[in-house]
Structure 1
């Protein structure tokens, strides 16, 4: 796939650039020739985390942007043609352990999308969401078709079973889509599976309901390089639209489940689902990422 523009002439913003995905996006975008505004929340290591990733100070500019401080977002977006946005909970906030985190993430999404709407140079927003904004529905076991980008998690279902991560991602993404459509903005979303980051632990909020996702055939994961390529692909491809489920592995065998459990913590292995059904040691996959795979066929990462 050949992009319809010259990357070296493009300036893009990455927010939050201090997270695993954001930092990797900054590195990859710089490598492809983009000028990057790396926007991060106040961080214990400050701007030092970006030391050494660019030899050209004109290609990388660092911004401190609070998603709840509208003017700081506007400042980071100035002169940019695109925003790659992923939400990171503030350092002084619990990580999705209570219902109010949904309000926090919704407010952040609203501020960021409104700032994009007020920035005349922004042509496209790539909004990072989650597969958990797709998979949690009362009717998920009775559906004839596989789950894909057309489906949404049920907010009331998530609230009932205290699936705060899924509830937050669903509400924030719906807020972003509503604002993007109201303001006529070009937005695409990446609904990512569980990111297999080096610091992945059993406390990751995505894992709430892991046993049920496994049994439903929708427990999907994604490696960081694939996730980064997917973000850049949906930005550079002018035909991209709507939502894209993003994963490159599914946990649907006992071996997969046990391997993940051992990675998370040795104590978790005993609590992970271990079942055989009619002699089978695998669960049928019930989730599809065909839309993204089709788009990425010719992408050169």
Structure 2
């Protein structure tokens, strides 16, 4: 097994992507130091402790993004760090302070702990396509987004898109700090993650899928979405750590698709779901921009089809009673 004898840290381990990452790391033989906000909250720890091999090789630590030294104990003795912890919210009530400060300062606090830990060889940072593709000018079908793209932080500030701004500023801060302190970092930029949930609570991307199914496209603020399976994203994290030649940024997007087509696929897979009729008819295929997969494929990433990802998402939402039909 590739991780035998290696110790790694996963921050924000109770989250959607991070839970899958912890599971796959344990499957590969790694010993995992996982940080959560509260060791006494069953929603944060029960699903992690239930993973195969958790008893032997999973160690939980409490840590706070805004506490400068709180990641030191978890990172001590680690060969690598996966920094996934960051607040996510697109709610109008979410404030700049709630999103930007923990994202930026939390990243710097984690990287600071890595600098103080000489055993750490590489840090893999979970970013988002939010820091890649948010532009003032609307994207067109002629656009092919790749790792050279950067979101417009002034436009994000003007439009009060605080989550997007948090991702842009956290990424900027991490590259600057890593350069100054000679840390080897790789950043991953997934689209909207779908797939089965390990955690008992509803995360943001699963909420988007649930809302789209229940309320149709009217729910969506961005009708064109970029999808990727959470399991592929977790594998990409491990590859980004293990492959010596991994460098820089990696966009992780399996499919770019208009919500109407997602609803059509769901309607075909689950006729009992009663997708609103206006989305069941033969809607025209809306041309969308593309996201390059070339760099991700150089890591050996093979994407799960959107049909499989959507089916597994819906089965999981049904099993956890978030969706009834």
Confirm or deny a common fold (TM above 0.5).
Answer: yes
Cα deviation code 1:148-200 (max 9, x no counterpart): 11111011111222222211111111111111111111000000101115531
| Match of residue 99 from structure 1 | 96
- Which whole-Å CA distance do the structure 1 matches of 2:288 and 2:246 have between them? 29
| Match of residue 85 from structure 2 | 87
| Match of residue 156 from structure 2 | 158
Cα displacement (A) at 1:285: 3.0
Answer yes or no: is the 8 Å Cα contact 1:25–1:228 preserved in 2.
yes
Cα displacement (A) at 1:111: 0.8
Answer yes or no: is the 8 Å Cα contact 1:163–1:208 preserved in 2.
no
Cα deviation code 1:43-93 (max 9, x no counterpart): 621543332324464422111111222322011000001001112439xxx
- Which whole-Å CA distance do the structure 2 matches of 1:257 and 1:163 have between them? 26
Equivalent residue of 2:160, what SS? coil
Q: Is 1:112 aligned to residue 114 of structure 2?
A: no
| Match of residue 132 from structure 2 | 134
| Distance change in 2, residues 1:221/1:143 (3 Å) | closer
Aligned residues: 278
Answer yes or no: is the 8 Å Cα contact 2:191–2:226 preserved in 1.
yes
RMSD: 3.4
- Which whole-Å CA distance do the structure 2 matches of 1:133 and 1:203 have between them? 21
- Which whole-Å CA distance do the structure 2 matches of 1:193 and 1:74 have between them? 30
User: Which of the residues 221, 225, 230 maps onto 1:224?
Assistant: 230
Cα displacement (A) at 1:287: 2.1
| Match of residue 167 from structure 1 | 165
| Distance change in 2, residues 1:97/1:54 (3 Å) | same
Q: Is 1:12 aligned to residue 8 of structure 2?
A: yes
User: Which of the residues 297, 302, 323 maps onto 1:293?
Assistant: 297
Cα displacement (A) at 1:296: 1.1
Equivalent residue of 2:70, what SS? helix
- Which whole-Å CA distance do the structure 1 matches of 2:8 and 2:87 have between them? 22
- Which whole-Å CA distance do the structure 2 matches of 1:31 and 1:71 have between them? 30
Equivalent residue of 1:220, what SS? strand
Ranges in structure 2 where 5+ consecutive residues have no aligned partner: 211-218, 304-325
Cα displacement (A) at 1:30: 0.8
Cα displacement (A) at 1:231: 0.7
Equivalent residue of 2:95, what SS? coil
Residues 22-41 of structure 1: matches in 2 within 5 Å?
Answer: 22-41=18-37
- Which whole-Å CA distance do the structure 2 matches of 1:253 and 1:69 have between them? 40
Answer yes or no: is the 8 Å Cα contact 1:96–1:164 preserved in 2.
no
| Match of residue 178 from structure 1 | 176
Cα displacement (A) at 1:137: 1.4
With normalisation by structure 1, the TM-score equals: 0.80
Answer yes or no: is the 8 Å Cα contact 1:254–1:275 preserved in 2.
no
| Match of residue 72 from structure 1 | 70
Cα deviation code 1:249-287 (max 9, x no counterpart): 2214732266689x9xx9x97999x998xxx62314332
With normalisation by structure 2, the TM-score equals: 0.75
Cα displacement (A) at 1:17: 0.7
Answer yes or no: is the 8 Å Cα contact 2:13–2:85 preserved in 1.
no
| Match of residue 146 from structure 1 | 144
Cα displacement (A) at 1:143: 10
